[in-house]
Amino acid sequence: MAFGYNVEAGKSGKEGAVHYSVINKDRKVTSNVTIPISSPRMIHDFAITENYAIFPDLPMEMRPDLMIKEGKFIFHFDQEKPARYGIMKRHCLNPDQVQWFELPNHYVFHFVNAWEDVNENGDQIIKLFGCT
């Protein structure tokens, strides 16, 4: 599995996207999907489990406008925006099937581990550990 993200805003100046690819054992790309996110973000890592891919949409925004106009650093952490995580089946090709979960504002630089588990109610859950 591999991912990338845009560093340029779309037509409205606000769109962003994560590009997710699955690569087989012969090093051939077998699928690609583009997942829209809220704005161009600095996404340094993502996570996978046995059955799922997990994409952060965290409020560390790429802001070249602030760098050019105000001499600020290109990355801007927006303390007012929530953090989101998108979870999808590892081999999914439909970005509409990503389930988004909103969390309080934070940023994770690297993910350490992710796995699937079942809670006491028998519900499947995904656990994710990261560091800031």
78-126 pLDDT per residue, tens: 999 999 999 999 988 899 999 999 999 999 989 999 999 988 888 888 8
Nearest to 116 by CA among 124, 104, 105: 124
CA–CA dist 53, 88 (Å, integer): 6
pLDDT at position 11 over 60: no
pLDDT tens-digit series, residues 46-82: 999 999 999 999 999 887 777 888 888 888 899 999 9
The model's pLDDT over 16-30, given as tens digits with 9 standing for 90+, comes to 889 999 999 999 999
pLDDT at residue 6 greater than cutoff 80 = no
Domain count for the chain, please give it: 1
User: In the beta sheet, which residues pair with residue 68?
Assistant: none
Whole-angstrom Cα distance, residue 129 to residue 117?
A: 13
What is the model's pTM? 0.84
Q: What is the reported pLDDT for 71?
A: 85
Question: What residues make up the domain containing 69?
Answer: 2-131
| CA pair distance 32, 94, nearest whole angstrom | 10
